[in-house]
Amino acid sequence: MAGALIQPAEVLLSKRVQEMVINGEEPPAPYICREGDSTEEDDGSVESPIPIVDLSLLSLSAPCGDDNEDELHKLKSALCSWGCFQAIGHGIPSSFLDEIRQVAKEFFGQPMEEKKKYAKTVTEFEGYGADPVPEEGQPLDWSDRLFLDVYPEDKQKLKFWPEKPDSFRDILKEYTEKMKMVTKLTSKAMAKSLNLEENCFLDQFGEQGPLQARFNYYSRCQRPDLVLGLKPHSDGSGYTIILQDEVGLQILKDDKWHTVPQNPHAILVLMADQMEIMTNGIFKSPVHRVLSNSEKERVSLAVFYTPEAGKEIGPVDDLVNVERPRVFKNVKDYADLHWGYYQRGTRALHTVQV
Ligand code: OGA
Ligand code: NI
């Protein structure tokens, strides 16, 4: 018999990873990307060094004092070295985090014909399916996702918003409100941690800085040694807030992959390229990836917080001085630029250096 026929990515992308798994198919060639990947990684069992920050100690209403100062220092040091932290004290009840995890799981657990009501075309971005086809030779991700613009409200395209489970839309709207609150709180705290005027980042994002929700579904895979749930990348947003159920997400630091632990009460706040630009390189936008797992499927929800379209952003004036000359140019619509590079398997950040 002839060797396995390799289909073009466009054809492959018309089929969900979940369908291939249900059919018992092995990962086809375009998904295979881990051969020869020898970067050291933890085994996920040791206690994670990824810092934990209690946002309740940083909120405006928190009394000023040593706790507040200590926590601000922790926040700054986490973002300078890791580019992320596990946020607790964020004001979102754990029961609500469980609820949104549950509706996400239920959505992906439905029959394919139900999910396909919200399907995107191969080239579209929003909707249910896979990311648009990457550049030739770039691997595909062993995952399916539902991508939705959630804020500002007039950007919501309800035709992509699931009607089942029944509570999906309401819960997502409520989660969006919570994300607005968390981004406000976090943006102010980050400014304070650098001794900046507390609105300096919020002003750069703009009053209507968009939020986009990406529900990721990582199917089990018989060959986790060959594929990745999501290939290594940094995000093109300002920063991203990630909720997960099972482990799988890893952060690259000092040439080693560190697993983000399972902490049902925490959300991960992850710097993206535009915060690295605004802080003149002080906060790091870390490379991260998602492993595939042979035993458990995994669901995550990433919410991207990005400056308004067409708005120029750049290093905050007070972070540019003789000791720290300007590292980045001012940019507009960086996320679009980032996407083009992402599709080619590289990063865009170096292209906006001075
Ligand atoms: C992303 C991402 C991580 C995860 O969607 O950009 O990095 O845990 N997601 O799903
Ligand atoms: Ni990411």
Q: Going from the first residue of the chain to its last (354 residues), give the mean pLDDT of each consecutive group of 10, the final group possibly shorter.
A: 65 92 93 85 79 90 76 97 98 98 98 96 92 91 98 98 98 98 97 97 98 98 95 98 97 96 96 98 98 96 98 98 97 97 96 98
Scanning the chain, the segments in alpha helix (DSSP H) are 9-12, 17-22, 66-81, 94-109, 112-115, 168-193, 200-205, 273-278, 334-343
Q: In the prediction, which pLDDT does 3 show?
A: 46
**pLDDT for residue 2:** 42
Protein residue with its CA nearest to atom 1 in ligand 1: 302
Residue nearest (by alpha carbon) to ligand 1 atom 9:
302
**Cα–Cα distance, 128 to 49 (Å, whole number):** 34
Going by alpha carbons, the residue nearest to atom 3 of ligand 1 is 249
- Residue (of 306, 343, 295, 350) closest to 136 by Cα position: 343
Close Cβ partners of 64 (under 8 Å, ≥ 6 residues apart): none
Q: Which amino acid is at 87?
A: A
Instruction: Give the H or E element holding residue 242.
Output: strand 239-244
Residues in the chain: 354
Q: Which atom of ligand 1 is nearest to the CA of 268?
A: 8
Q: Which residues line ligand 1 (CB under 6 A)?
A: 214, 216, 230, 235, 242, 244, 249, 288, 290, 300, 302
Specify the pairing of strand 239-244 against strand 249-253: unpaired
3-class secondary-structure state, position 20: helix
pLDDT at 41: 85
H or E segment to which residue 148 belongs: strand 144-151
